[in-house]
Structure formats: C-alpha cells, structure tokens
C-alpha cells in the first residue's frame, strides 16, 4: 500500500509525493488493518466460499486490496490536510452479466472470471495504481490525476473489458459498466466510492458497456424514488390505485373484442403517477406482488360485472416479470377466476416479449402453468426484445402485440414497416393473432388493416378510461366512430384451442340495438 495515490502508468496532472510522516502513517494503518485480517483468518478459512471481499487487507479471491484497506487508505490520503490541493478520480467498475456466469457455470468459474478481470485491470492501470475488489463483481480504482486522464482511464478499462473475459477459449461476461466520481468535486473519500457506484449503476441501467461521470441529479432521483416507494407501500390500503381500460378493436369488423386494464395511481400530492414511473420502483422495492395481486382482483371483479351486464369482451391485465416468477401466480389466477365464475380463456395475461424470452426454468414453468390453466396469453411490446422463433413456438401464446414504436414509425420508416410485415408473416405461420398498439392516425389504421393485422388499439379509437366510461363510450361509439359499430358492439372471442381462434359473436344484453 506504500504507493497508494501515486500512479506511475497514467499521466497525472499533479503527481503527488508523500513525506516520510505520511508513509509512516499509512504503514501504521495498513498494519492495523492487517491485524484485524489476521484475527479473521481462521473464520475466513472455515467459510465455505469467500463470496465477498474480506475485512482484511487482501481480497482472498483476486489478491487485490480489500475494500476496507482501500477505504482506510483513501480516507487517510484525502480527508486529512494531506488531501488539500489534491485532485483525482475514483473509478467504480461493475461487470455486466456476471450473475449469469455464477448461475450458469458455478461459483468456481465465477471466481476465475474475477481473477482474470483483476489481471486485466492491473494490465490497463499499471501495477502501482491502487485498486480493490469492493464486493461481488465490483472493483474500485483510484487515479491521482486530472479529470481528462481519469476519463481516459475509464474509457480504456471499458474497452479492455468490452469483449468479456476469455477462459479456456470461452467468453464470459458482457463487458463492464464504469462510474467515475471526482475529488474534490464529488465529496469526501467515502462519498466518492458511493457516488462512483451510483454512476456505475446508472450506466448499467442504461445498458452497460461504457463509463459515465457521477451526476448529482441521480441522487435527487434516488430520493424521489425512495419517497415514491414509501408512499406506494400505502397506496393499496389508502385506495389510491385504480384501473382504467382501453379497448382492442377487431380490424375487420371494428368491433370491440377485448379491453386492456391499465393501472393508475392517484397520489395525494403528486397527482396521477404513471405506471411507467412506479411499476419499476414497485419491482425494485418488493411491492409488485401486493400491487399485482390488487390489479388481478380488481380486473377479475370488473370482468365479472361486465359479464353479468352482457358485455362479453375479454379482459387483459399486464403481468410483470416479477409476477411471472412468483410461485403462486397461476394458482392465484385460477382461484380468482373460479371465485368470480369466469372462464380462463376469457381472461388475457399480457407478458412482455423480454420476459417471455428469458427462457429460464422459472419463467418456463410459469408459462406451463398458464397453458394448463387455459388463460389467453399475449406477448406485449413485440419487436423490442430478441425473440427466437423456437421460443415463441413453445410459448402458450395466442396473441402478439406489435410495440407502438413500430406502429408510430411505419408510415414514414421503411424498416419499421418491414418489421411489422415480418411479424405478421411469422404470426400467421404460428397461428397467432396480431394486435397493433398505439394506433393514432387513420393512415396507420389503414396500413395495418391492409397488411392483415387482426386487432387495433390506440388513441384513434379510444384512450384508456374508467370502467363506467367504457360502458358509456360503448353506447356512444356507433355515432362517434363508425356506423359499422352498431350491429354488435362487443364481440366475444372464445379460444377453443391454443392455436386456433374461433370467433363467437354475441350481443350485450344491456346495450341498445
């Protein structure tokens, strides 16, 4: 640790040398930490596998400095008067896709990847740049240099790890995400590590593979997120959640075949909070189960009410990946359907393409249970994921929803139109119905109908609305939309088998002829 904060390989704008007193202090700190490490050795040896960096001076997996030793030395160098006038950057490196190495190849292979990564980092940064393994697949590097040199190093690290780690001719991990926090701009040594880690996580969320400087706005967002999570915890009991419904219209007849339930949150201070904002927070903070269960019960209740009133369209809910991984989701759905006297094939679960394509044991068995149950399955946001035809064939899906980004672009962008055409061809081959979502203009509608799309959904026909408004809209629809609506407004679509769709029209008893 004697060379801490004294880079040799990267160009430093203000290279710093330490006096004898500084060295003596740093060595004393190292000795203290080493003492603690010695005391912990017995325990660490008996631990089954060191998954985290230990509390001694050396990380037992990679041989790099441990996080504790790194932080102590960093604090000694920056947070005392010796830190005055110094500038530098803390790089926080997180491997992309490391979880899959551990899960798919075992922890021993995971450890090998960590060792190889440490070797690459040493190679890029040089022997004397201080670095540690912080936890799991995360590393911290300190560079005593100006901002541009720190950014250059971050770029070099990202490039060096971009192709993944090669071991015995096989490639593992998918690159790295790097956060950079600067001293003194971004705070004390402890804040630097946290803020560089925050920047790294922001890079990861955006897809990884690159580096980014810490942005204080991320912390503001995090505070807001925490507030939303706290309030969301109470939203169900305070009755602040509500479902709105948006119709799906059959292209050929312009009849309503189904409605999609979309969640709304009426926050007492923030007003309407969008599900795109709060669903990911609910997933992250362990609240999606309670919210998903509420949505399921509310949609089933409404579906039963409509059935009794003679409105015989299918009701769809959006099922998040977390719900699909829940053990009892299908069971809950089954007992809910039974309790409300609804047939499974009149109820749709919309599952995004990315979740459907995960193809893990958990999602596969969740799909199997939905198949056994006989509910209608729709693959949402289609075109945004990386579907393989083989996986799609295996899924018990009856419907594909073309993502609205393609619908929005298809009139002006040949690629988007080609994708829509390809999806329609593939769906036809697999016997799936195709719904186009986000239809906003007559030009889009006409093109989709001409291309053979089965159902349409979007603001052109109706915005999402309350259950009451749906019934009123339905009665008004013939005059406000098209004359073709009048003979039979709501069309019942009953799926007799997983791959064939048999349309059984019926009239709503409570609606005027």
**Sites of contact with ligand C2E (CB under 6 A):** 246, 262-263, 274-276, 279, 295, 317-318, 320, 350, 380-381, 404, 437-440, 458-459, 464
Least distance in angstroms from the C-beta of 505 to ligand C2E: 25
Contact between residue 322 and residue 351 where contact means Cβ atoms under 8 Å apart = no
Least distance in angstroms from the C-beta of 279 to Ca ion: 11
Measured CA to CA, the distance from residue 241 to residue 234 in angstroms comes to: 10
Would you say 102 or 457 has its CB closer to ligand C2E? 457
What element of type H or E holds 317?
strand 314-319
What is the token pair recorded at 97? 């896709």
Would you say 71 or 350 has its CB closer to Ca ion? 350
By CB under 5 A, residue 350 contacts Ca ion? yes
353 binds, among ligand C2E, Ca ion, none (CB under 5 to 8 A by kind): none
Which pairing describes strands 241-250 and 256-267: parallel, antiparallel, or unpaired? antiparallel
What is the token pair recorded at 74? 């960093």
Least distance in angstroms from the C-beta of 250 to ligand C2E: 16
59 binds, among ligand C2E, Ca ion, none (CB under 5 to 8 A by kind): none
Residues 374-403 that bind Ca ion (CB under 5 A): 380-381
For helices 67-78 and 20-46, give the axis angle rounded to 10 degrees: 160
Least distance in angstroms from the C-beta of 299 to Ca ion: 12
Helix (H, G, I), strand (E, B) or coil at 45: helix
Would you say 182 or 303 has its CB closer to Ca ion? 303
Residue of minimal Cβ distance to ligand C2E: 458
Contacts for 251 with CB less than 8 Å, ≥ 6 apart: 448, 449, 453, 454, 455, 456
Alpha helix (H) ranges present in 206-358? Answer: 216-235, 275-284, 288-309, 321-325, 329-339, 353-356
From 66, 144, 318, 444, residue interacting with Ca ion (rule: CB under 5 A) = 318
Least distance in angstroms from the C-beta of 249 to ligand C2E: 12
Contact between residue 227 and residue 197 where contact means Cβ atoms under 8 Å apart = no
Closest CA to 199 of 187, 214, 211, 220: 214
Q: How far apart are the first and last CA of the chain?
A: 85
Q: Which stretch binds Ca ion (CB under 5 A): 51-59, 203-211, 238-246, 347-355?
A: 347-355
Q: In the chain, count of helices (H) and strands (E)?
A: 18, 19
Which pairing describes strands 271-273 and 256-267: parallel, antiparallel, or unpaired? antiparallel
Would you say 379 or 447 has its CB closer to Ca ion? 379
Least distance in angstroms from the C-beta of 316 to ligand C2E: 9
Binding footprint of Ca ion, residue count (CB under 5 A): 4
What is the token pair recorded at 389? 């035809």
Helix (H, G, I), strand (E, B) or coil at 242: strand
Would you say 262 or 426 has its CB closer to ligand C2E? 262
440 binds, among ligand C2E, Ca ion, none (CB under 5 to 8 A by kind): ligand C2E
275 binds, among ligand C2E, Ca ion, none (CB under 5 to 8 A by kind): ligand C2E
Would you say 456 or 474 has its CB closer to ligand C2E? 456
Q: Which stretch binds Ca ion (CB under 5 A): 103-111, 208-216, 343-351, 445-453?
A: 343-351
Least distance in angstroms from the C-beta of 405 to Ca ion: 10
Would you say 140 or 256 has its CB closer to Ca ion? 256
Measured CA to CA, the distance from residue 115 to residue 109 in angstroms comes to: 10
Q: Which stretch binds Ca ion (CB under 5 A): 32-40, 274-282, 294-302, 317-325?
A: 317-325
Least distance in angstroms from the C-beta of 72 to ligand C2E: 44
Contacts for 74 with CB less than 8 Å, ≥ 6 apart: 4, 5, 90, 130, 142, 189, 192, 193
407 binds, among ligand C2E, Ca ion, none (CB under 5 to 8 A by kind): none
Residues that bind Ca ion (CB under 5 A): 318, 350, 380-381
């Amino acid at each position: 640790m004697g060379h801490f904060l004294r880079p040799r390989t990267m160009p430093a704008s203000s290279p710093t040398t330490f006096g004898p007193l500084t060295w003596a202090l740093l060595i004393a700190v190292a000795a203290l930490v080493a003492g603690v490490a010695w005391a912990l050795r017995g325990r660490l040896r008996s631990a089954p596998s060191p998954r985290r960096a230990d509390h001694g001076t050396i990380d037992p997996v990679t041989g790099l400095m441990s996080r504790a030793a790194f932080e102590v030395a960093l604090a000694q160098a920056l947070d005392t008067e010796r830190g005055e006038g110094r500038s530098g950057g803390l790089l926080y490196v997180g491997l992309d896709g490391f979880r899959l190495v551990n899960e798919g190849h075992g922890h021993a292979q995971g450890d090998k990847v960590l060792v190889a990564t440490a070797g690459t980092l040493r190679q890029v940064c040089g022997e004397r740049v201080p670095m540690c393994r912080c936890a799991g697949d995360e590393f911290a590097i300190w560079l005593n240099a100006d901002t541009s040199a720190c950014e250059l190093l971050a770029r070099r690290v990202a490039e060096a790890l971009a192709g993944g780690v090669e071991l015995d001719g096989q490639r593992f991990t998918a690159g790295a995400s790097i956060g950079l926090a600067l001293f003194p701009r971004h705070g004390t040594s402890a804040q630097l590590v946290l803020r560089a880690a925050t920047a790294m996580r922001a890079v990861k969320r955006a897809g990884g593979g690159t580096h980014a400087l810490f942005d204080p706005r991320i912390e503001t967002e995090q505070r807001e997120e925490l507030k939303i999570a706290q309030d969301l915890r109470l939203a169900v009991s305070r009755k602040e959640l509500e479902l709105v419904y948006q119709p799906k219209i059959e292209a050929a007849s312009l009849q309503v075949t189904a409605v999609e339930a979309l969640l709304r949150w009426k926050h007492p201070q923030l007003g309407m909070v969008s599900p795109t904002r709060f669903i990911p927070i609910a997933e992250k903070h362990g609240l999606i189960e309670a919210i998903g269960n509420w949505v399921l019960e509310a949609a089933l209740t409404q579906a039963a009410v409509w059935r009794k009133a003679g409105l015989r369209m299918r009701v769809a809910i959006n099922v998040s990946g977390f719900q699909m991984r829940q053990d009892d989701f299908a069971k809950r759905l089954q007992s809910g359907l039974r309790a409300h006297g609804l047939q499974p094939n009149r109820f749709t679960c919309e599952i995004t393409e990315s979740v459907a394509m995960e193809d893990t044991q958990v999602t596969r068995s969740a799909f199997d249970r939905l198949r056994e149950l006989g509910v209608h399955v729709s693959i949402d946001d289609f075109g945004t994921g990386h579907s393989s035809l083989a996986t799609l064939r295996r899924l018990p899906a009856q419907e594909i929803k073309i993502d609205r980004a393609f619908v929005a672009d298809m009139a002006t962008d040949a690629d988007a139109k080609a994708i829509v055409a390809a999806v329609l061809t593939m769906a036809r081959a697999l016997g799936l119905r195709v719904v186009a979502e986000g239809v906003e203009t007559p030009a889009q509608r006409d093109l989709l109908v001409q291309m053979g799309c089965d159902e349409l959904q979007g603001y052109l026909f109706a915005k999402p609305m309350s259950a009451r408004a749906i019934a009123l809209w339905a009665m008004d629809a013939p005059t406000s939309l098209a004359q073709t609506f009048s003979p039979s407004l709501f069309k019942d679509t009953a799926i007799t088998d997983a791959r064939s769709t048999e349309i059984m029209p019926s009239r709503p008893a409570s609606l005027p002829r």
